[in-house]
Amino acid sequence: MFERCQTARIADCADELRDAALDDDLAYAITEGLTTEIGPRLAGTEAEARARAWAIERLRALGFSNVRTEPFPLRTWMRGEEKAEITAPFPQPLVLTALGNSAATPAEGLEGEVVYFATLADLEAEPDANVAGRIVFVDHAMTRTQDGSQYGAYGAARRSGPALASRKGAAAILIRSIGTDYHRNPHTGSTVFPEGVAPIPAAALSIPDAEQLERVVERGQPVRVRLTLTPRDLGMRESGNVIAEVPGSDRNAGMVLVACHLDSWDIGTGAFDDAAGCGIVAAAAKRILDAGRPRRTIRILWAGAEEVGVFGGRAYFDAHRGERHDAAAESDFGADRVWRLRTGFTGTAEPINIRLAAALAPLGIAYAPGRATGGADVGPVIAAGTPGIDLNQDGTRYFDLHHTPDDTLDKIDATQLRQNVAAWTAMLAIVADAEEEIRSDSATN
Amino acid sequence: MFERCQTARIADCADELRDAALDDDLAYAITEGLTTEIGPRLAGTEAEARARAWAIERLRALGFSNVRTEPFPLRTWMRGEEKAEITAPFPQPLVLTALGNSAATPAEGLEGEVVYFATLADLEAEPDANVAGRIVFVDHAMTRTQDGSQYGAYGAARRSGPALASRKGAAAILIRSIGTDYHRNPHTGSTVFPEGVAPIPAAALSIPDAEQLERVVERGQPVRVRLTLTPRDLGMRESGNVIAEVPGSDRNAGMVLVACHLDSWDIGTGAFDDAAGCGIVAAAAKRILDAGRPRRTIRILWAGAEEVGVFGGRAYFDAHRGERHDAAAESDFGADRVWRLRTGFTGTAEPINIRLAAALAPLGIAYAPGRATGGADVGPVIAAGTPGIDLNQDGTRYFDLHHTPDDTLDKIDATQLRQNVAAWTAMLAIVADAEEEIRSDSATN
């Protein structure tokens, strides 16, 4: 079927490669293997190291070139025990999970009065005296969107809420999980305590628990909670990126960087976030590898330590900023179908957009104007001037699963996963093999 | 609207009472109050005692007569710590929950090799030598049904699987949760170790975890699991039934018994199972109370200790078998819409079926031939000869939630809950006020 790609240009085979990829099994096999044989792989831990070893073996067996690990040091936080209960007026347990970088409570727990805030802005506006020594509870109202656009706004409760509560003297903070589901599976994620702000215990309640606590608060009596969190700072450990390549025929052409992240949160098996992304980019690259030789080298980056602060993406950028990247893309928004294409191709590269739009339209993917923003791990490369390519996935159910125990293999829809592989395959065939000079600036980054 | 019921027969108002009940708020308020102000209420614990006190206050405030507690002693089991991990070949945590009556492992856990069985029958057929000292894993394939009919067959893995594994010398048993969801919320429930069978540690894996363990087993290497369960037998404690009545006008007519259970499993807040049932029967009875005086007394039974072995239902039967029950019904299958009516009315009582079928048809409820079986708590009363009435609820999603942490208030669909109240109201108006002699046997039980 692809024989002519051995002699003709890969780019001319984009449609056939795309359609064949709708039968792909490799992306699922990688997702299944990584989530089953490694399972959770928190950045900096021994499990993440096993994931790198697994990745190296898998990527070498697939025939990629220059398969290697690029290690970097990482300050490592590890979850401990976590439990909570309302002690008054209606004693009962609450389900929650510590946020990454949370401080520990005493081993026997910490009890305090709950002070309720409907929004982060309400917490900010509250006089410190009403917060000091109490357990802050920040509720909010994230709802479902296809593009995940609510994450930016509502995610602030998790990212900066704990530091704000600390500055105001709070003993601890509970937030409503940044999520859209109604299961007793809380959503973890990193929080940031800037230099000079003392970390405090910080946890996310599952959404049913947040609504329960809200109802209890609404009854009007003082509400007390006992909270036990025993995470530990393990100090400096090792994380690392895994890299593999499909060699291009033109050493002077830039590279196409395709990324995902190999690490996951510890409470799920990281199927949606982001084993599937690693499966998608590797399966698409493998199809190009098998079809012939594209003009540009395709570099696969399975980044380490994304969840805990995009350390892999930054380490990659620091190590490779001197190399020419012609395009960069990341798959890190689940495994549901791609619905939108955006790129950063302008000027001499603009014709590529037309070919991409045509090749992706049969998959139900709409070309949208506006600059591609890329995923977190390729963010530094794109920020430095490399054109990005977004193959945006349907995020309607993404925040049902994101950073929860529920992020497991059974959530992967194999048909939608294949549509992703088809889209990435067509994109790589067109972009990696484009005759245009993509970067007229002859920049290297 | 119901003025004529003050003078005319309640039974003549059944249609109006039914339609008015479609605006009911009481069933939801009871469900919300019990799950919020008490939360989990495991049989025999202090939380169940608080639930009884709450119930007495609520039922008295509603104006019911003879509101009282009938206590009984209960051997009480309480959950402890519970955790598990695959230690080889692919180390990772597993999510599970102890089954009621599970034995404890040593505090530091118990490690052993996993021996896999696709079904309980496969475990039964296995030579004891292959099971002895190992950790049995019983998988199975429960699927979704509207009538919950798979629970009988697949529930055996939970009810009798642990005793079977113990007889064969197993160190412990893990079962796939008896459920139909794909969340990391395992399904608890009681297991039974008959006299002479030594209790062993017994737990249910969430369905994603069961499938994960199955995949790991399928890889073909020896699989080892470390299991820590620390439940305790608290010895004899107190449980109790709560009873309330709508007095009838005819002291010689039998009673209509309407039941639910007040206790719940400890890992959810028991909204679907069975706060909603208590809300439904009380709300329907309250509507009859407000409408006038039915011929027969309606007795509400909020039973204790159902989940752990139907102890409340048996205690009720033992205490009240000398009284005449003309009919008995229970709401204990969630809060989704009633779809089927079955009764035990025969002989002189047969015309009641026609009136019930006509009154319930506008709610989308089909009359089905076949004897009503009743719920667990009215089982002994029905077994002794009292006609049962089944208002069967749609159980399509019941086993997504049953005995899990996910059984919380947010799962209640207020519109479907109101349809239940309407059905129970119409049923009570017709049955409690029927002119027919329901029991020609003049039996008392």
With beta carbons under 8 A apart, name residues in chain A contacting B409: 208, 211-212, 215
Strand order from edge to edge, sheet including A172-176: A92-94, A82-88, A224-229, A110-117, A135-138, A172-176, A202-205, A96-98
With beta carbons under 8 A apart, name residues in chain B contacting A51: none
- DSSP 8-class letter at A426: H
The pLDDT tens digits of the residues spanning A218-235 come to 999 999 999 999 999 999
Q: Residue A152 above 90 pLDDT?
A: no
Q: How far is CA A266 from CA A80, A97, A339, in A?
A: 11, 11, 29
Q: Residue A3 above 60 pLDDT?
A: no
The CATH number of the domain covering residues in B80-230? 3.50.30.30
How far apart are alpha carbons A71 and A236 in whole angstroms?
13
Bridging pattern class, strands B325-330 and A172-176: unpaired
**A217 interfaces chain B, CB cutoff of 8 Å:** no
Q: How confident is the model at residue A149 (pLDDT cuts 50, 70, 90)?
A: confident
> What is the ipTM metric for this complex?
0.95
Q: Residues of CATH 3.50.30.30 domain(s) within chain A?
A: 81-230
Q: What is the pTM assigned to this prediction?
A: 0.96
CB B279 within 8 A of CB B418: no
**Residue A381 CB partners (closer than 8 Å, separation 6+):** A257, A316, A317, A325, A328, A374, A445
Candidates A296, A275, A105; CA nearest to A202 is: A105
Tell me the two tokens of residue B270: 């028991």
The pLDDT tens digits of the residues spanning B54-65 come to 999 999 999 999
Contact B215 A36 (CB under 8 A): yes
Contact B408 A36 (CB under 8 A): no
Contact B184 A185 (CB under 8 A): yes
Query: At residue B369, what are phi and psi to the nearest 5 degrees?
Result: -65, 170
**Residue A84 CB partners (closer than 8 Å, separation 6+):** A93, A94, A96, A174, A203, A205, A225, A226, A227, A228
User: How many separate helices (H) and strands (E) can be counted in chain B?
Assistant: 15, 16
Q: Is A257 exposed, middle or buried (0-12, 13-18, 19+ CB in 10 A)?
A: buried
State the angle between helix axes of A276-291 and A26-33 in degrees (0 to 180), rounded to the nearest 10: 140
Does CATH number 3.50.30.30 belong to domain A81-230? Answer: yes
Bridging pattern class, strands A172-176 and B298-303: unpaired
Q: How confident is the model at residue B424 (pLDDT cuts 50, 70, 90)?
A: very high
What is residue B292's predicted lDDT score, i.e. its pLDDT? 93
**A91 interfaces chain B, CB cutoff of 8 Å:** yes
Rg (CA), chain A: 23
Q: How far is CA B413 from CA A184, A210, B405, B418, in A?
A: 18, 19, 18, 9
* Nearest-CB residue to B90 (from A37, A207, A409): A37
Contact B406 A90 (CB under 8 A): no
Share of chain B above pLDDT 90, in %: 93
| Interface residue of A50, A85, A92, A180 to substitute, partner B, most B CBs within 10 Å | A92
With beta carbons under 8 A apart, name residues in chain B contacting A220: none
HEC string for B317-385: HHHHCCCCEEEEEECCCCCCCEEEEEECCCHHHHHHHHHHHHHHHHHCCEEEEEECCCCHHHHHHHHCC
**B92 interfaces chain A, CB cutoff of 8 Å:** yes
Ordered alpha helix ranges (H), A117-206 = 120-125, 150-154, 156-159, 161-167
Q: Residue A141 above 90 pLDDT?
A: no
How far apart are alpha carbons A245 and A3 in whole angstroms?
22
Helix, strand, or coil (residue B206)? coil
The pLDDT tens digits of the residues spanning B169-213 come to 999 999 999 999 999 999 999 999 999 999 999 999 999 999 999
What is residue B392's predicted lDDT score, i.e. its pLDDT? 97
| Interface residue of A28, A183, A409 to substitute, partner B, most B CBs within 10 Å | A183
Query: What average pLDDT score do residues A387-414 get?
Result: 97
Query: What average pLDDT score do residues A110-127 get?
Result: 98
CA distance B434 to chain A (A): 42
Query: At residue A374, what are phi and psi to the nearest 5 degrees?
Result: 75, 170
Q: Is B339 exposed, middle or buried (0-12, 13-18, 19+ CB in 10 A)?
A: buried
Q: Residue A442 above 70 pLDDT?
A: no
Candidates B349, B338, B435, B442; CA nearest to B394 is: B338
With beta carbons under 8 A apart, name residues in chain B contacting A405: 95, 184
**Residue B443 CB partners (closer than 8 Å, separation 6+):** B324, B384, B385
Contact B39 A219 (CB under 8 A): no
Tell me the two tokens of residue A46: 């021994």
Query: What average pLDDT score do residues B26-39 get?
Result: 98
HEC string for B26-82: HHHHHHHHHHHHHCCCCCCCHHHHHHHHHHHHHHHHCCCEEEEEEEEEEEEEECCCE
What is residue A52's predicted lDDT score, i.e. its pLDDT? 98
Query: What average pLDDT score do residues A430-440 get?
Result: 92
Q: How far is CA A1 from CA A44, A260, B191, in A?
A: 44, 29, 58
How far apart are alpha carbons A157 and B74 in whole angstroms?
46
With beta carbons under 8 A apart, name residues in chain A contacting B90: 36-39
Candidates A86, A73, A183, A187; CA nearest to A135 is: A86
Q: How confident is the model at residue A6 (pLDDT cuts 50, 70, 90)?
A: low
CA distance A39 to chain B (A): 6
Tell me the two tokens of residue B349: 């009582």
How far apart are alpha carbons B265 and B274 in whole angstroms?
10
CB B228 within 8 A of CB B90: no
Q: What residue has token string 């690490």?
A: A263
Q: Residue B8 above 80 pLDDT?
A: no
Question: To the nearest whole number, what is the mean pLDDT of chain A?
Answer: 96
What is residue B141's predicted lDDT score, i.e. its pLDDT? 81
**B211 interfaces chain A, CB cutoff of 8 Å:** yes
**Residue A273 CB partners (closer than 8 Å, separation 6+):** A264, A265, A307, A332, A334, A401, A402, A403, A407
Q: Is A214 exposed, middle or buried (0-12, 13-18, 19+ CB in 10 A)?
A: middle
Q: How confident is the model at residue A140 (pLDDT cuts 50, 70, 90)?
A: confident
With beta carbons under 8 A apart, name residues in chain A contacting B207: 410
With beta carbons under 8 A apart, name residues in chain B contacting A188: none
| Interface residue of B50, B212, B213, B225 to substitute, partner A, most A CBs within 10 Å | B212
Q: Residue B7 above 70 pLDDT?
A: no
**A413 interfaces chain B, CB cutoff of 8 Å:** no
Q: What residue has token string 């799950």?
A: B35
Q: Residue A2 above 60 pLDDT?
A: no
With beta carbons under 8 A apart, name residues in chain A contacting B405: 95, 184
Contact B211 A410 (CB under 8 A): yes
My answer on whether omega of the bond before A290 falls inside 30° of 0, hence cis, is: no
* Nearest-CB residue to A184 (from B37, B93, B185): B185
| Number of CB atoms found within 10 A of residue A415's CB | 9
Q: Is A152 exposed, middle or buried (0-12, 13-18, 19+ CB in 10 A)?
A: exposed
Contact B409 A208 (CB under 8 A): yes
Tell me the two tokens of residue A431: 């972009």
Helix, strand, or coil (residue A172)? strand
Helix, strand, or coil (residue A227)? strand
Query: At residue B387, what are phi and psi to the nearest 5 degrees?
Result: -60, 135
Query: What average pLDDT score do residues B304-331 get?
Result: 97
CA distance A33 to chain B (A): 10
With beta carbons under 8 A apart, name residues in chain B contacting A184: 185, 268, 404-406, 408
| CATH homologous superfamily, domain A3-77+235-432 | Zn peptidases (3.40.630.10)
| Interface residue of B46, B83, B184 to substitute, partner A, most A CBs within 10 Å | B184
What is residue A174's predicted lDDT score, i.e. its pLDDT? 98
The residue length of chain A stands at: 445
The pLDDT tens digits of the residues spanning A305-328 come to 999 999 999 999 999 999 999 999
Strands (E), A206-291: 224-229, 232-246, 255-261
The pLDDT tens digits of the residues spanning A195-216 come to 999 999 999 999 999 999 999 9
CB B24 within 8 A of CB B422: yes
Tell me the two tokens of residue B237: 């404690």
Contact A90 B185 (CB under 8 A): no
Query: What average pLDDT score do residues B330-343 get?
Result: 98
What is residue A5's predicted lDDT score, i.e. its pLDDT? 66
With beta carbons under 8 A apart, name residues in chain A contacting B42: none
Q: Residues of CATH 3.40.630.10 domain(s) within chain B?
A: 3-76+235-432
How far apart are alpha carbons B137 and A175 in whole angstroms?
37
Q: Residues of CATH 3.40.630.10 domain(s) within chain A?
A: 3-77+235-432
Which residue of chain B comes nearest to A267, CA vs CA? Answer: B93
Query: What average pLDDT score do residues A352-380 get?
Result: 96
The pLDDT tens digits of the residues spanning B124-179 come to 999 999 999 999 999 988 889 999 888 988 899 999 999 999 999 999 999 999 99
Q: Residue B445 above 70 pLDDT?
A: no
Query: At residue A155, what are phi and psi to the nearest 5 degrees?
Result: -65, -20
What is residue A60's predicted lDDT score, i.e. its pLDDT? 98
How far apart are alpha carbons B176 and B154 in whole angstroms?
10
Q: Residue B239 above 80 pLDDT?
A: yes
Q: Residue B443 above 80 pLDDT?
A: no
Contact A40 B208 (CB under 8 A): no
Query: What average pLDDT score do residues A274-293 get?
Result: 97
Q: What residue has token string 């399975």?
A: A302
**B268 interfaces chain A, CB cutoff of 8 Å:** yes
How far apart are alpha carbons A389 and B420 in whole angstroms?
53
Contact A90 B37 (CB under 8 A): yes
Does CATH number 3.40.630.10 belong to domain B3-76+235-432? Answer: yes
**A211 interfaces chain B, CB cutoff of 8 Å:** yes
Rg (CA), chain B: 23
Q: Residue A445 above 60 pLDDT?
A: no
